[in-house]
Structure 1
């Protein structure tokens, strides 16, 4: 089993290393060296985001934690855990789960101060992730009266089907105070189903605005499913635009009230072939 899944070996080695202090901070901390990307919908976080144009609710539960930080404060590695759920909103305060994605992995981060004339940024940072993500349809996607899965005819594979990916993700960023620009690249080194494009690209910007408010945009080029070819072919631009307010004045500096507009390929693995557009308004907690 270990030979077939080297990710388990890498994870175990990093956890053992994290437990061995060597002149640096080895105590786990939720204040990660690389700050979470504000508008990336697949960043580990705690979030409750109702859709404004449909009876759905996004519920995210997860976090990143640095297990080790170097003595000079410019290198760290840690772990990521996250679940991303799509719930249906129904009567009597019920929320059947339509689909859920599970993510876990390890990350390495690095930062360096900059002093370059004419450059409006004073810090360069980078984060490398090695992660696994799987996705599953749940009871909310099943019609018990009809004894069938919902929208089964739209899925290119029989329902239920196995969705599992292991990937490497690299993000590099330039930042100053609460302003940041970044670029990213992701490579799938293993995927089920296997007729999925291996490459994805990312770019984003975060801009601080008056009164603890901010604007952020996350853009991805993701593999687009082609029904005729029965595989992904080319890319589809995917945007998540966010306007938010940090509740610092209320003593909750890690809490954001945020509005999102999402358009592009679904963030949920079970809907990897689906194109979506929707708006959400809710609360995000950055631990």
Structure 2
């Protein structure tokens, strides 16, 4: 029995390896809120912050013809935090996601399939007149296809919610956008890393309808680790599940630590 297990482990080890990388096989979408991030964003129209906590990791990697293939995990959350003074923060709402992904990448083409659970909650404080906590949960998959050429990446895809509560949620979402990136310096300030300008857009319709425009500068390579300073404009339905049926329009300034 041990010999069979050892033989199987040897065969798998020859084909599949633990990923040792400083970048994802499928780079997360810059202008989509439903992506893992580490950082925060200050709303311009209210005394609040959006705080992102989480990560996406490629765990296993193997080759399939000309494609680099990975299997990974996604654990992340974003919160609506109200500011009541210096470092006096109260969490109003939180949306949490966890699940896994499979991605494929060649020279110019990449695709990613995710299967995720999402739930949303009201936490420390909220307006009890206009908001009442209710069960908000879903399981869904999303499939994104991306094509990269020179300094731009186009993408499109769809998502399907196969279990959800409440019942009055649109189950399908179609998504498309692009990301323009341009190196403006091979060295940035005191860092040895390059400096990139990035402009990106993301548009969703049916469920999660909204337009997001994000632009800023990144200290580090476009598709790898770095520090991203950005401005954002959003117009669509609220990104927090507890307010999913409310229309929002806002701008903000953010900082994220890309992985």
Per the normalisation by structure 2, the TM-score is: 0.84
Alignment partner of 1:134 is 2:113? no
Alignment partner of 1:259 is 2:231? yes
State how far apart, in whole Å, the 1-side matches of 2:116 and 2:200 are: 24
* 1:96 paired residue among 86, 90, 95: 90
Deviations 1:248-270 (Å, cap 9, x if unpaired)?
A: 39xx9511001100110111111
For 1:268, the equivalent position in structure 2 comes to 240
Larger displacement relative to structure 2 (177-186 or 160-169)? 177-186
Could you tell me how far 1:53 is from its partner in structure 2? Answer: 1.8
Deviations 1:49-74 (Å, cap 9, x if unpaired)?
A: 01112111000011100111114651
Structure with greater strand share of residues? 2
State how far apart, in whole Å, the 2-side matches of 1:215 and 1:34 are: 18
Closer, same or farther in 2 for the Cα pair 1:266/1:53, shift >3 Å?
same
Could you tell me how far 1:210 is from its partner in structure 2? Answer: 5.1
For 2:80, the equivalent position in structure 1 comes to 86
State how far apart, in whole Å, the 2-side matches of 1:221 and 1:30 are: 33
RMSD, matched Cα: 2.1
State how far apart, in whole Å, the 2-side matches of 1:29 and 1:21 are: 17
Contact 1:246 1:253 in 2 (8 A): no
Runs of 4+ aligned structure 1 residues displaced above 3 Å come to 27-30
Closer, same or farther in 2 for the Cα pair 1:213/1:220, shift >3 Å?
same
Gaps of 5+ in 2: 1-8, 185-195
Alignment partner of 1:38 is 2:11? no
Contact 1:258 1:283 in 2 (8 A): yes
Could you tell me how far 1:247 is from its partner in structure 2? Answer: 1.5
State how far apart, in whole Å, the 2-side matches of 1:124 and 1:27 are: 20
Closer, same or farther in 2 for the Cα pair 1:30/1:161, shift >3 Å?
farther
Could you tell me how far 1:41 is from its partner in structure 2? Answer: 1.2
State how far apart, in whole Å, the 2-side matches of 1:162 and 1:21 are: 43
SS of residue matched to 1:21: helix
Contact 2:37 2:53 in 1 (8 A): yes
Deviations 1:143-202 (Å, cap 9, x if unpaired)?
A: xxxxxxx153x45xxx22111000010000101354200001000000011221110110
State how far apart, in whole Å, the 2-side matches of 1:167 and 1:35 are: 20
For 1:243, the equivalent position in structure 2 comes to 215
Closer, same or farther in 2 for the Cα pair 1:265/1:30, shift >3 Å?
farther
Closer, same or farther in 2 for the Cα pair 1:21/1:266, shift >3 Å?
farther
For 1:227, the equivalent position in structure 2 comes to none
For 2:54, the equivalent position in structure 1 comes to 62
Deviations 1:232-256 (Å, cap 9, x if unpaired)?
A: xxxx74111011101239xx95110
For 1:164, the equivalent position in structure 2 comes to 137
For 1:205, the equivalent position in structure 2 comes to 178
